[in-house]
Amino acid sequence: MSDWQQVTFSDLQTPSCSQKTVPSQGGRDAMSAPTRDEHAAKVRAGWVRAPLARFLTLNVETVDVEPTRLYPTIGVLNRGRGLLYRDPVAGSSTSYKKLNRILPRMLIYSRLKAFEGAITVTPGDLPESFASQEFPTFAFAPDADPDFFRILTTTQSMWDALQGASKGMGGRRERVKPTDFLNIVMDIPPLPLQKRIVEILDAVDDQITALNAEADALDDLWWALGREMVAAVTDEATVPLASFCDISGGLTKNKKDLEQPDLVTVPYLRVANVHRHHLDLSEVATIQTTQAKVDKLRLRAGDILMNEGGDKDKLGRGHVWEDQIPNCIHQNHVFRVRVTDRRFDPYFVSAWGNTFGREWFETFGTQTTGIASINRATLSRFPVPDIPLSVQQDWAGRLGAIVGTMDSLRGQASSLRATRESLAAGLLDRTIDIKSAELEV
C-alpha cells in the first residue's frame, strides 16, 4: 500500500500488545533509565479528563455593521465538515447591527445547529470573515493543539456531547450556550500526543485527498473524451430514443397501496442515487408496494436510468443498471430506458445522454418554481446517432474504462475514510496506543 501505512501503523499498538522492555545501554543502571513501556505509560497517564474550559476560552470579537461595507460571511456545516463560505453581505442589506469577526485557528460552532454537529476549527489561512452572533469563537490554551481539536470536532463523541448540551422540546432545540459548551467533559491527551495523533490522521487524509484528486483528473478526461465523441458523430443521422427503447416512469407513492393484501418491501432508486456515468448505491431506500407493481417496475441489467427532474444541469443524467441489487425498482422521478433494438448499445446511449444530452435537456426541459424537469414525451424524442454498433461499443468501451478506474479510486478513498474514522476513534478512546518513545512529556 502507500507510504502512510508504513509510517503510521508502525507507530500504533493495542494496549494488549505492549513491547518488551528495552535493555539499558552503556552500562547504565536499568532502574535509572525508563523503558519504552514506562515512557508509554507516562504518556498515557498524561491524559486529562476535564471540561473543555480547561483548554478553551470564549474569545469573541464583535464589529459594528457599516452600511457601506461588504462582509464576507461564513457558516458551519454539520457533522464537523468545516466551514460554509457564503457570498459577501452588504451592510445596508442586513438587519444585523453587529457581527462576529471570525479569525484563523479558532474553534467555532453554531449555537442553533450545534446539536447536528455544526462545529469546527477555522483554517490557518482563513481570509477576513464574519458571522452572526449565533457563532461564538474560542481561543486555545497553550497545551491545546488546534489541529487536534479540529479532529475532535469530527467525532461522534463530540456530536453526542453537543446534542446532550442542547435543551428544548420536540424537534426544535434551544441553542447551545457557550457556558454549557465549555462545561462538556472530554478526555484530552498531552500536547505531544495531540500532535502525533494529528500527524497520523493527516497522513491518512493526504492519501484520501490524493485518491480523490486522481479521480477528479479522470473525470476531466471523461468529459474531454465525451466532447470528442460528440464532435465525431455530430453530423450522423439520428433517431428518437423511443424508436428503439421502452421508456417507463417509476413508482409513485400511493397510500392506497398500503391497504393491499400482497404488499412487499423492496429497494428502490431515487434521484439522489442516479448520477452522470455512475450510481451512488451507498444509501438505497426501501418502499412497500404491491407485488404486481414490483413485477412491472423491476430493473434488469442493461436498463438505462435517467433523471426526470432537479437542477436544470442535472436533467437526463444517469447510468446503466448492472443488477447490483436484486429485486430493485425505481421512483417516479427516475426514468427507466430499456433498449429493445440490439443495434444500439445501452452504455453508448447513456454516455450520449450524459454528454450531448446535457445541453439538449437544458434546452428542452421545463422550469417551474426553481425545479427543472423533462417529461416522457420530451425524453422520447431525444435524438441518438444511428451509427454502427461497433462504433458505439468503441466509444462506450473507452469511456467505460475511464469510469471503471475512477470508480475504483473513489472506492479506495471511501474505504480509507472508513479506516480513518475507526483509527481516529481508537486513538481518542485509547483502544489504540501510539508507540511513544519519541514523545517528550
| 3-class DSSP string for the chain | CCHHHHHHHHHEECHHHCCCCCCCCCCCCHHHCCCHHHHHHHHHHCCEEEEHHHCEEECCEEEECCCCCEECEEEECCCCCCEEECCCEEHHHCCCCEEEEECCCCEEECCCCHHHCCEEECCCCCCCEEECCCCCEEEECCCCCHHHHHHHCCCHHHHHHHHHHCCCCCCCCCCCCHHHHHCCEEEECCHHHHHHHHHHHHHHHHHHHHHHHHHHHHHHHHHHHHHHHHHHHCCCCEEEHHHCEEEECCECCCHHHHHCCCEEEEEEECHHHEECCEECCCCCEEEEEEHHHHHHHCCCCCCEEEECEECHHHCCCEEECCCCCCCCEEECCEEEEEECCCCCCHHHHHHHHHCHHHHHHHHHCEEECCEEECCHHHHHCCEEECCCHHHHHHHHHHHHHHHHHHHHHHHHHHHHHHHHHHHHHHHHHCCCEECCCCCCC
In this predicted structure, what is the pLDDT of residue 38?
Answer: 53
Q: 137 with 111: CB under 8 angstroms? A: no
Domains 53-188 and 237-386 share a fold: yes
The Cα–Cα gap between 210 and 204 comes to: 10
Give the pLDDT confidence score for residue 35 in this predicted structure: 55
Looking at per-residue confidence, does 314 or 3 come out higher? Answer: 314
Cα dihedral angle (278, 281, 282, 284), rounded to 10 degrees? 150
Place of cell 484563523: 104
CA dist 374 and 367 (Å) reads: 9
Confidence at 13, pLDDT banded by 50, 70, 90 = low
Q: Is the dihedral of CA 364, 369, 373, 376 positive or negative?
A: negative
Query: Given pLDDT bands bounded at 50, 70 and 90, which one contains residue 367?
Result: confident
What residues contact 76, with CB distance under 8 A and at least 6 apart?
82, 83, 84, 108, 109, 110, 113, 118, 119, 120, 135
**Which pLDDT band holds residue 313 (cuts at 50, 70, 90)?**
confident
Residue 316 C-alpha cell reads as 437526463
* pLDDT tens per residue across span 222-243: 999 999 999 999 899 999 999 9
What average pLDDT does this structure show over 26-40? 45
Is-contact 335 250, C-beta < 8 A?
A: yes
Over residues 51-77, the pLDDT tens digits come to 999 999 999 999 999 999 999 999 999
Quote the CA–CA distance of 203 and 63 in Å, as a whole number: 38
For the cut 90, the answer to whether the pLDDT of residue 254 exceeds it is no
User: What number of residues does the chain have?
Assistant: 441
CA distances from 399 to 22, 216, 349, 402 (A): 57, 15, 12, 5
pLDDT higher than 70, residue 14? no
pTM: 0.76
Q: Say which CATH topology domain 237-386 has.
A: Adenine-n6-DNA-methyltransferase TaqI; Chain A, domain 2 (3.90.220)
Delimit the domains of the chain by residue range.
Answer: 1-47+191-217+391-441, 53-188, 237-386
Residue 237's identity, in one-letter code, is A
Q: Name the CATH topology of 53-188.
A: Adenine-n6-DNA-methyltransferase TaqI; Chain A, domain 2 (3.90.220)
Asked if pLDDT for residue 17 goes beyond 70, the answer is: no
pLDDT for 31 equals 35
pLDDT tens profile 327-337 = 999 998 999 99
pLDDT for 439 equals 46
Q: How confident is the model at residue 188 (pLDDT cuts 50, 70, 90)?
A: very high
Mean pLDDT (whole number) for 347-376? 89
> How many CB atoms are located within 10 Å of the residue 107 CB?
26
